[in-house]
């Protein structure tokens, strides 16, 4: 039987997530937190960002679960423990599966709102899910490049 669109999106997200986790697992803690310079992201920062982004877009916008996201904090160089980073992202994954797994057929085309109280925007749940898949893939490329650079840094 063919996959539903939600199953397809979850599958693609899982493939990308596994590639990121494989990259993270190949890094030392110093490499995980390595930055090219003060104004650059580390792999750890991007994992924090992916966690916050997924919880916001899927959990809050699609699922109605408040994310209490602090986007700026995702880009602070606070050197969280590897286990905390990975476990936080895996909890976001579980939330994504819970929200999307109970979604009825046809719900992807329902409209949702997001944004600040003074700047509300409308889109569809499908756009949100595709955005999360694409956004995660975008950062996979950055994470792979940063990992290679960190492994070669002195």
CB 151 within 8 A of CB 27: yes
Which pLDDT score, from 0 to 100, does residue 105 have?
Answer: 78
Domain count, the chain: 1
- Which of the 8 DSSP states describes residue 68? -
pLDDT digits (tens, 9 = 90+) for 84-109: 999 999 999 999 999 999 998 799 99
Query: Among all chains, which residue has been given the structure tokens 């994504």?
Result: 96
pLDDT digits (tens, 9 = 90+) for 49-71: 999 999 999 999 999 999 999 99
Question: What CATH code is carried by the domain that includes residue 127?
Answer: 1.20.120.450
Give the confidence band of 112 by pLDDT, cuts at 50, 70, 90: very high
Q: Is the pLDDT of residue 118 over 80?
A: yes
Which pLDDT score, from 0 to 100, does residue 85 have?
Answer: 97
pLDDT digits (tens, 9 = 90+) for 35-52: 999 999 999 999 999 999
First to last CA, the chain: 52
Taking residues 108-129, what's their average pLDDT? 95
Q: Which domain holds residue 139?
A: 5-152
CB 65 within 8 A of CB 95: yes
Q: Is the pLDDT of residue 154 over 90?
A: no
Predicted model pTM: 0.94
Which pLDDT score, from 0 to 100, does residue 2 have?
Answer: 79
CB 52 within 8 A of CB 18: no
């Amino acid at each position: 039987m063919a996959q539903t669109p939600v199953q397809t999106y979850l599958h693609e997200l899982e493939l990308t997530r596994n590639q990121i986790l494989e990259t993270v697992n190949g890094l030392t803690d110093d490499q995980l937190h390595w930055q090219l310079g003060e104004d650059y992201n580390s792999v750890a920062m991007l994992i924090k960002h992916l966690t916050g982004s997924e919880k916001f877009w899927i959990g809050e916008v699609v699922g109605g679960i408040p994310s209490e996201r602090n986007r700026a904090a995702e880009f602070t160089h606070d050197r969280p423990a590897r286990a905390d980073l990975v476990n936080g992202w895996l909890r976001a994954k579980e939330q994504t599966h819970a929200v999307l797994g109970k979604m009825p057929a046809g719900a992807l085309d329902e409209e949702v709102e997001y944004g600040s109280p003074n700047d509300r925007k409308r889109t569809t749940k499908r756009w949100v899910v595709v955005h999360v898949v694409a956004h995660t893939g975008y950062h996979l490329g950055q994470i792979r490049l940063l990992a290679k650079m960190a492994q070669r840094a002195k």
